[in-house]
């Protein structure tokens, strides 16, 4: 077993809710992804690419970042103003660009 896989093995000791920490690869490029059930469906967070040079601490911190980002994603989807997820993670960036001239700031 390579030293990198030994460091990855530390993920088996990470726990958060009933979520899973999955390591896979795309074109031999390893990544970490959280998987969890919400609203009766299995969901996967974004892919966090890993370097073979990462320390065990960096791998575990990446797992924490994956959790924090997935939780923020869920909060943005569920935080409603007048019935809409105005801070939602799926809003098109070009649409955001169009409205960014309308600012609400103190004088």
pLDDT in tens, 39-63: 899 999 999 999 999 999 999 999 9
Residue 36's closest CA among 18, 11, 49?
18
Residue 11 confidence (pLDDT): 97
The beta strands (E) that lie in 1-107 are given as 20-26, 29-38, 41-44, 48-49
- Confidence bin at 2 (pLDDT 50/70/90): confident
Beta bridge partners of 25: 30
Give the mean model confidence (pLDDT) for residues 10-31. Answer: 96
Give the mean model confidence (pLDDT) for residues 22-37. Answer: 95
**pTM for the model:** 0.89
The DSSP line for 17-43 is TT-EEEEEEETTEEEEEEEEEETTEEE
- Confidence bin at 3 (pLDDT 50/70/90): very high
């Amino acid at each position: 077993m390579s030293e990198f896989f030994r460091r990855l093995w530390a993920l088996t000791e990470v726990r958060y809710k009933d979520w899973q920490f999955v390591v896979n690869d795309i074109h031999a490029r390893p990544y970490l992804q959280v998987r969890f059930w919400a609203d009766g469906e299995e969901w996967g967070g974004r892919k966090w690419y890993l370097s073979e040079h990462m320390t065990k601490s960096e791998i575990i911190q990446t797992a924490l970042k994956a959790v924090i980002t997935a939780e923020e994603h869920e909060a943005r989807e569920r935080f409603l103003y007048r019935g809409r997820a105005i801070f939602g993670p799926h809003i098109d960036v070009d649409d955001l660009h169009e409205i960014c001239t309308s600012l609400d700031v103190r004088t």
